[in-house]
Chains A and B, each alone.
Chain A
Amino acid sequence: MAIKAAQDLYLDPAIRDWVLIPITLIMILVGVLRHYVTLLLNSAPKKQPAAVVREQRALTRSALLRSTAPLSPLPPATYRAISSDLSEGLIAGKWLKPQATSEEEGEKNPFEAAGMEGAMDGMKKQAVMMIPNMVIMQYISVFFSGFILIRLPFPLTAGFKSLLSKDIIMPDLDAQWVSALSWYFLNLFGLNGVFKLILGSENAAVDMQSMQNMSLSAASAMPASGPGAPDYAKLYRAEAENLALAEGVYKWVGEGVEDRVLARYGR
């Protein structure tokens, strides 16, 4: 049932048995392994004294309130009560942790260690993502190069040859005949969907590019509790100002709900 192409080649079945299927199998298994290794590497967050946690949580609470302000489920009275209570507390420094007497060395070293651990964690995760991919790519280009693997079911222009079959030195070969490296790339991108199916959508086996986006956002979230010993008093004051700003965009989700319900039912 295959369409007779201009170039018809016969391939050794050993290629199918020993290259096509193994590459896919290896990539699936390595992906699953990566997922579980990442799960294991995820160290539990360090236990910190209640005062420190309270200090951080105050900021979190305020940020939460602000972020839900544009479409807030809290009615105006509740929102304003919480907001003003938070502002007063932040400005007065009610939740700041009691400063240690030996401030200098007390603050520098623990934060340095915490920062390093956070950075190491991020780097470890990135390494877990990238290293298997690089190793497999090297393995494929060393062991599986120089022969044709499969034929694509759709035609391509000759420009794709340099990407998909550059190790095959046959200038007249149709671009449809590709080598093992292209199968690797196809698997790399296509298996993201398969991983999401078998590992659930929050898995650590997906592709590098999405991982890079995630690592960028993780890196930007780190300084909040990282090195540099953030001055919580200053942060509190800034947060109080932000609360005042949020007051301006606050909108209760139940505002005008009577009109919307009526409109929905055509009255």
Chain B
Amino acid sequence: MNPNGPQLPGTASASHFSPSYSPLYPPAVAHNTRLSACFTGLVIGILGITNWRGFAFYALTSLGSAYLVSALKCGFNVSKYIDQGPKAAAEAEAQAGGKGAVAGVGWKGWLGLMGVGQENVLGFLLFWIGGYALIHGEYLPWDAVCGEWAGVRG
């Protein structure tokens, strides 16, 4: 699964108690990021976007879908919903003596929601290349390419 995203905790008993427990159901997040990656690839391929623009488009759409999830589900406080890692947790504990909830190291949460993991990138690549080849591969029959030679072909 996506290494930065919310993880299902290791042991069953820790599922609701562990500090890294995420109210966002991790398989659902993985499913959504996978879908968005594949659809992005397909759309980009059909539109015929090439080179770096394709990758930029992917980054944009995954950022967009992460934004949507965070807006609708997390109330924009991403760090509250996704494990930020041990260092941030220690920071949070140190700060907890003074103030309340930490809107801490947010970028890790964003990366997790974006779902940029090996499997999603490969799926995106597959659909991009496939869509591009299907719609924009220059497939022309022999006769159309070499019209005046059409009769010559033995």
Measuring CB to CB, which residues of chain A are less than 8 angstroms from any residue of chain B? 1-3, 8-13, 15-16, 20-21, 24, 67-68, 71-73, 149-155, 186-187, 189-194, 196-197, 201, 253, 260, 263-267
Contact = CB atoms under 8 A, between A and B. Distances in A.
B91 interface: no
Contacts of B142: 12
Contacts of B100: 263-267
B141 interface: yes
Interface footprint category on B = 35 or more
A7 to B, nearest CB: 11
Given A13-B139, A16-B137, A253-B17, A155 B122 contact: no
A187 B50 contact: no
Contact of B139 (A1, A11, A191): A11
Interface string B17-54: 11000000001001100110110000011011111101
Nearest to B97: A263
Q: Which label, helix, strand, loop or mixed, suits the secondary structure of the B interface?
A: helix
13 contacts: A21-B134, A72-B13, A149-B133, A150-B132, A150-B137, A153-B128, A186-B129, A190-B125, A191-B126, A193-B38, A193-B119, A193-B120, A196-B119
Nearest to B80: A264
B122 A192 contact: yes
A16 B139 contact: yes
A152 B54 CA distance: 11
B86 to A, nearest CB: 14
Nearest to A15: B139
A265 B100 CA distance: 6
Contacts of A260: 96
Contacts of A263: 96-97, 100
B138 A197 contact: no
